[in-house]
């Protein structure tokens, strides 16, 4: 009997995720080898600083400082790009794919910025690009969309895709604490980056929404083409107002497709969800994604969306798929079509104009506490055909100011934006209004 084939893996990046992959791969290696009937080895590792102390012990002769040399090493079959960013990570990915290797990535920013080029390079050179860890960490969401739900079209996908924001919103609500205080705590606990802007302004969620949109609809939507709003202007008062109306607040990505018109909308924004909604109950660093399929109906996925262990779990799942691709030509052909090319052929799909993106809205305004203010605001809204459903008025400090919270009946993005522009011209308005969407999703 011939000895089992050996596949060699190169790790580019040994930070949070890379160390997790090394640790769990080492622990599960024998089991994986036995299940796959092959030998596996992480043979080379590239880092920026070779002298840095790490939480894992790696033989010194396997570590180098040249990620491109690892990516193009002819002795390596699979390259894990775990560097992050869109510059060196792009070079490493394209170089490995051009050598016909399988690249495994957790890098949603890279996929969002250069996905089309990456998939085209993979196709041209017979390489493969796998990216389960790029969205929703330990939740096998990409496998679910691509494989388990392959018979479906997806009119609606929505959910919490950023654990940092969900942690901040959860703590603000639980502790009645302001955003800045909770953000500081999240940084101390390592749940938020030193530069939190990518997370709290919604861009990280937008990158993940772009990846999911590509998988579900075979088209790339750039974050600049989406509505992207973050959580940094939400206050403890908003949670109280939302609770009074029967809602919680979550940062959601919403990917909606109308298969009759072909229109697609992709958006990221804080959303009022009914308190009884299962996604509203998902707290802390967890992610939750609801996928509506036209055949399967709604399926829901909840789990750890980031962190060393959950992300390593997803990377290792891709490593196993990579072995499957390399091991068996016939299977490789089938999976290659899933792994390297758009999951679905690009159908006639165009972005919905703002007037076709409909919904209900929550508006918090700080106004002068004087007679006639509500009438002025109601007139400004009526001029744009936005009709008010409810009003909460609270006196607030300093004296002479009041907080006015309005919810609307069904309206649309064009009308609500025109309303905001109109309101901004009113003398009675103090400061910029806060606009939140109300999520009318059935479970
Ligand atoms: N952290 C998470 O929970 C998580 C979850 C899902 C996806 N991701 C994605 O996974 C990827 C990695 O994230 P991470 O949190 O592990 O990042 P990280 O902790 O910052 O690690 C980055 C690694 O890349 C190495 N590196 C940087 N520049 C390099 C260079 N010029 N040459 C060689 N190596 C270089 C660093 O080396 P040194 O160690 O020597 O500095 C470090 O080991 C990112 O795309 C991220 O978006 C992360």
Longest dimension (CA), the chain: 91
Strand pairing category for 6-12 and 78-81:
parallel
The residue ranges of every structural domain in the chain are 6-137+308-339, 141-306, 358-437
Range of weakest confidence among 9-23, 43-57, 387-401:
387-401
- The rounded Å distance from CA 330 to ligand 1 centre is 34
Record the tokens describing residue 126, joined without a space: 């017979």
**Beta carbon of 133 within 6 Å of any ligand 1 atom:** yes
pLDDT, residue 195, reads 87
Q: How far, in Å, is the centroid of ligand 1 from the Cα of 104? A: 13
Alpha carbon nearest to ligand 1 atom 20, residue:
15
pLDDT at 304 over 90: yes
Rounded to an integer, the average pLDDT of 351-378 is 95
* pLDDT score of 176: 97
Confidence label for 331 from pLDDT (cuts 50, 70 and 90): very low
Return the pLDDT at 327.
86
- What was the pLDDT predicted at 335? 44
For 385-443, write each residue's pLDDT tens digit: 999 999 998 877 777 899 999 999 999 999 999 999 999 999 999 999 999 999 988 76
Structure tokens at 336: 């290659």
- Residue 195: phi and psi, rounded to 5, are -100, 105
In sequence order, what DSSP letters do the residues of 21-53 get, joined into one string? HHHHHHHHHHHHHHHHTSEEEEEEEE-S-TTS-
Candidate from 13, 131, 162, 287 with most ligand 1 atoms within 8 A of CB, to mutate:
13
**pLDDT at res. 347:** 58
Ligand 1: does its nearest atom lie under 6 Å from the Cβ of 292? Answer: no
Closest CA to 106 of 260, 318, 263: 318
Rounded to whole angstroms, the Cα distance separating 269 from 278 reads: 18
CATH architecture of the region 358-437: 2-Layer Sandwich (3.30)
The pLDDT of residue 348 = 72
What does the block give as tokens for 125?
Answer: 């050179």
For residue 429, give the DSSP letter.
B
The finding on whether 216 has its CB within 6 A of some atom of ligand 1 is: no
Say if ligand 1 is within 6 A of residue 48 CB.
Answer: yes
Residues 298-310: what's their mean pLDDT? Answer: 95
Mean pLDDT (the chain, rounded): 93
Bridge partners, residue 412, by sequence:
358
Region 343-364 average pLDDT: 86
Residue range 371-398: mean pLDDT, rounded: 91
Cβ–ligand 1 distance for 67 under 6 Å, the answer: yes
- Does the domain formed by 6-137+308-339 have CATH 2.30.30.140? no
Phi, psi of 44 (to 5 degrees): -145, 150
pLDDT of residue 360: 98
* Strand partners of residue 285: none
| Distance from residue 223's CA to the centre of ligand 1 (Å) | 22
Closest by alpha carbon to 127, among 332, 348, 299?
A: 332
Q: How far is the CA of 129 from the centre of ligand 1 (A)?
A: 18
Looking at CATH, the fold of the domain delimited by 141-306 is given as Dihydrodipicolinate Reductase; domain 2 (3.30.360)
Q: Tell me the best of 50, 84, 311 to mutate to test the pocket of ligand 1, counting ligand atoms within 8 Å of each CB and taking the most.
A: 84
Cβ–Cβ < 8 Å for 144, 176: no
Active site residue 281: no
pLDDT (mean) for 121-150: 96
CA of 17 to the centre of ligand 1 (A): 7
Give the whole-angstrom CA distance, residue 207 versus residue 374. Answer: 39
Instruction: Give me the sign of the Cα torsion angle 418, 280, 249, 196.
Output: negative
pLDDT above 50: residue 329 = no
| pTM for the predicted model, two decimal places | 0.94
> Containing H/E element for 113?
helix 108-125
Among residues 208, 250, 327, 338, the one annotated as catalytic is 208
What's the CA gap between 331 and 320, in Å, rounded? 13
As a whole number, mean pLDDT of residues 358-386 equals 95
């Amino acid at each position: 009997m011939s000895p089992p084939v050996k596949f060699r893996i190169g790790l580019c990046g040994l930070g949070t995720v890379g160390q997790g992959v090394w640790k769990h791969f080492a622990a599960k290696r024998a089991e994986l080898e036995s299940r796959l009937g092959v030998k596996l080895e992480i043979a080379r590792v590239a880092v920026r600083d070779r002298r840095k102390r790490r939480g894992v012990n790696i033989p010194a002769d396997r570590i180098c400082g040249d990620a491109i040399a690892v990516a193009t090493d002819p002795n390596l079959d699979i390259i894990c790009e775990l560097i992050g960013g869109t510059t060196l990570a792009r070079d490493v990915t394209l170089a490995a794919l051009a050598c016909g290797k399988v690249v495994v990535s957790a890098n949603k920013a890279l996929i969002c910025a250069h996905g089309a080029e990456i998939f085209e390079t993979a196709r041209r050179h017979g390489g493969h690009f796998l990216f389960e860890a790029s969205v929703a960490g330990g939740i096998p969401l990409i496998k679910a969309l691509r494989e388990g739900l392959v018979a479906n079209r997806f009119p609606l996908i929505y959910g919490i895709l950023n654990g940092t924001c969900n942690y901040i919103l959860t703590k603000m609500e639980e502790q009645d604490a302001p955003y800045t205080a909770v953000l500081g705590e999240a940084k101390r606990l390592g749940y938020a980056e030193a530069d939190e802007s990518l997370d709290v302004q919604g861009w990280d969620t937008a990158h993940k929404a772009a990846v999911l949109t590509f998988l579900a609809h075979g088209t790339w939507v750039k974050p600049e083409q989406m509505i992207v709003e973050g959580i940094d202007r939400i206050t403890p008062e908003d949670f109280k107002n939302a609770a009074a109306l029967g809602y919680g607040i979550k940062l959601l990505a919403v990917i909606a497709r109308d298969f009759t018109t072909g229109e697609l909308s992709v958006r990221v924004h804080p959303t009022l969800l009914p308190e009884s909604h299962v996604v509203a109950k998902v707290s802390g660093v967890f992610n939750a994604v609801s996928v509506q399929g036209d055949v399967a109906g709604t399926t829901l996925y909840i789990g750890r969306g980031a962190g060393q262990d959950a992300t390593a779990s997803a990377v290792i799942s891709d490593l196993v798929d990579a072995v499957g691709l390399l091991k068996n030509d016939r299977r490789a052909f089938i999976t290659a079509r899933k792994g390297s090319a758009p999951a679905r052929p690009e159908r006639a799909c165009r972005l919905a104009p703002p007037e076709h993106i409909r919904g209900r809205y929550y508006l918090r305004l700080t106004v002068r506490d004087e007679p006639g203010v509500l009438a002025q605001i109601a007139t400004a809204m009526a001029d744009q055909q936005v009709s008010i459903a409810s009003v909460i008025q609270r006196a607030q400090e300093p004296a002479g100011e009041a907080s006015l919270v309005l919810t609307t009946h069904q309206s649309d993005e064009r009308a609500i934006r025109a309303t905001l522009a109109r309101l901004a011209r009113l003398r009675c308005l103090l400061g910029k209004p806060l606009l939140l969407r109300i999520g009318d999703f059935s479970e």
